[in-house]
């Protein structure tokens, strides 16, 4: 497929899908094909997608452009663009990428050259990146705007570690707990180092055989960390970070009380990071869209004692930021909503707007 044609495909959250849009990529639930590419969304297709808990779909760009939100609605300089121009961000980004390169080498040495794991050194490398930040909310904002390219597995792991550290601070963990949590985040995907790189970096959809290979990485990571005599709780995070409290995860299908507590926390930030991360050919999903996804079905799949403070913290991060709604309206977040975090109170043209009273409106971008 030609690159120019690919650029016409847009990934949208399900709640933004409308009748008449055309599906641009096959939609699967596990190995089952739900809706083939080229299908026009009608009421029957819409019900299939919603019943199957599909989070997002790919549609053709010209279909998405028919929605009220278009690039013309968004100001020339967004919050992300303004942040990325600051000296503080540029210094953080440089340190982040330098640490990622070092981390890349270190993980490969551990996994492929049988070198020992120095947990203190790993924690210090993550701690040094955070040292210049004045508060967790500023750090959260910066992490949400980091872009990474070829080293996706390594940068993702570093990002997960930093996000886990932030959540640990919101939960008032002590320094020993923060160290354990941060290192667990750094090592949670170490099993992927032992998966063929052509599968890890494959740009298109994985075959069933390739996905089965990918799903081996929790076992591979767990065995590797056990061989290194790493704290068993860290090894269990590598094994269980794809498990869900309702038993729908992998590789074992554990339920909540059987899942390591650190793994429950890492799972939440792992998924959030993967959905909101900015890659070279993929813009991350708006954080409020991800919050809404967690609110829709997350309380069964994830432990509320970690999920609730995490979602609240994300919302607090964007207090006093300008956001864009799906009808083109812009407003300032002035009040967070603890009972429905995805629907804060806004100031719009001098008037208070309570999004809980306007279910047809959603935040689609942070400006």
- Cβ-count burial of 1 within 10 angstroms (0-12 exposed, 13-18 middle, 19+ buried)? exposed
The CATH number assigned to the domain with range 83-284 reads 1.10.3210.10
- Cβ-count burial of 57 within 10 angstroms (0-12 exposed, 13-18 middle, 19+ buried)? buried
For residue 334, the tally of other CB atoms under 10 A from its CB is: 14
C-alpha distances out from residue 157 to 99, 148, 322, Å: 11, 12, 30
Residues 106-120 pLDDT 10s = 999 999 888 999 999
- pLDDT(11) > 80: no
Long-range contacts of 277-283 (CB under 8 A, 24+ apart): 277/146, 277/148, 277/156, 277/159, 278/145, 278/146, 278/147, 278/148, 279/147, 279/148, 279/149, 279/152, 280/147, 280/148, 280/149, 282/11
- Residues recorded for the chain: 367
Residues 317-367 pLDDT 10s = 999 899 999 999 999 999 999 999 999 999 999 999 999 999 999 998 888
C-alpha distances out from residue 191 to 155, 202, 243, Å: 15, 17, 15
Cβ contact 203:219 at 8 Å: no
The CATH number assigned to the domain with range 3-67 reads 3.90.105.10
Parse the chain into domains and list their residue ranges: 3-67, 83-284, 317-366
The pLDDT, as a whole number, for residue 53 is: 59
Cβ contact 25:204 at 8 Å: no
Q: Which residues pair with 348 in a beta bridge?
A: 351
Nearest by Cα to 50 from 79, 77, 18, 97: 18
Show Cβ contacts of residue 60 under 8 Å, excluding neighbours closer than 6 positions.
8, 9, 10, 21, 22, 24
Whether the model clears a pTM of 0.75, i.e. scores above it, the answer is yes
pLDDT, average across residues 80-103: 88
pLDDT, average across residues 25-33: 77
Residue 287 to residue 318: CA distance in whole angstroms: 9
pLDDT, average across residues 165-185: 96
The pLDDT, as a whole number, for residue 174 is: 94
Residues 54-69 pLDDT 10s = 767 888 876 655 554 4
The pLDDT, as a whole number, for residue 363 is: 93
- Cβ-count burial of 72 within 10 angstroms (0-12 exposed, 13-18 middle, 19+ buried)? exposed
The pLDDT, as a whole number, for residue 55 is: 67
pLDDT, average across residues 236-255: 96
- pLDDT(2) > 70: no
Nearest by Cα to 139 from 92, 97, 104: 92
pLDDT, average across residues 125-142: 87
Note the helical H segments in 201-303.
208-214, 217-227, 232-240, 261-276, 287-301
SS3 state of residue 354: strand
């Amino acid at each position: 497929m030609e690159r120019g044609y690919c650029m016409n495909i847009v990934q949208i959250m399900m709640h933004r899908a409308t009748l008449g849009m055309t599906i641009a990529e096959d939609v699967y639930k596990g190995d089952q094909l739900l809706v083939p590419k080229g299908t026009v969304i009608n009421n029957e297709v819409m019900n299939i997608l919603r019943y199957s808990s599909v989070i997002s779909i790919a549609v053709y760009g010209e279909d998405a452009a028919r929605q009220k939100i278009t690039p013309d609605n968004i100001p020339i300089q967004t919050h992300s663009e303004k942040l990325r121009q600051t000296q503080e961000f540029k210094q953080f980004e440089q340190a982040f990428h330098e640490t990622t390169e070092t981390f890349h080498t270190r993980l490969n040495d551990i996994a492929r050259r049988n070198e020992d794991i120095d947990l203190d050194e790993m924690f210090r490398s993550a701690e040094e990146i955070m040292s210049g930040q004045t508060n967790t909310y500023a750090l959260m904002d910066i992490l949400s705007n980091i872009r990474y390219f070829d080293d996706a597995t390594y940068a993702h792991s570093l990002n997960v570690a930093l996000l886990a550290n932030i959540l640990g601070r919101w939960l008032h963990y002590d320094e020993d707990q923060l160290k354990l949590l941060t290192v667990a985040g750094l090592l949670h995907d170490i099993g992927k180092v032992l998966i063929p790189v052509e599968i890890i970096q494959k740009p298109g959809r994985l075959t069933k055989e390739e996905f089965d290979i990918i799903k081996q990485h929790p076992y591979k990571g767990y065995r590797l960390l056990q061989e290194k005599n790493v704290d068993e709780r860290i090894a269990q995070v590598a094994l269980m970070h794809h498990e869900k409290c309702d038993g729908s995860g992998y590789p074992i299908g554990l339920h909540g009380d059987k899942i390591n507590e650190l793994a429950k926390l890492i799972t939440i930030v792992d998924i959030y990071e993967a959905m909101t991360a900015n890659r070279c050919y993929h813009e991350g999903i708006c954080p409020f869209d991800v919050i809404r996804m967690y609110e829709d079905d997350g309380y069964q799949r994830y432990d509320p004692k970690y999920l609730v403070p995490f979602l609240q913290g994300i919302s607090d991060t964007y207090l006093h930021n300008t956001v864009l709604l799906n009808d083109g309206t812009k407003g300032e977040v002035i009040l967070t909503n603890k009972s429905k975090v995805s629907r804060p109170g806004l100031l719009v043209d001098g008037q208070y707007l309570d999004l809980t009273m306007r279910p047809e409106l959603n935040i689609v971008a942070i400006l």
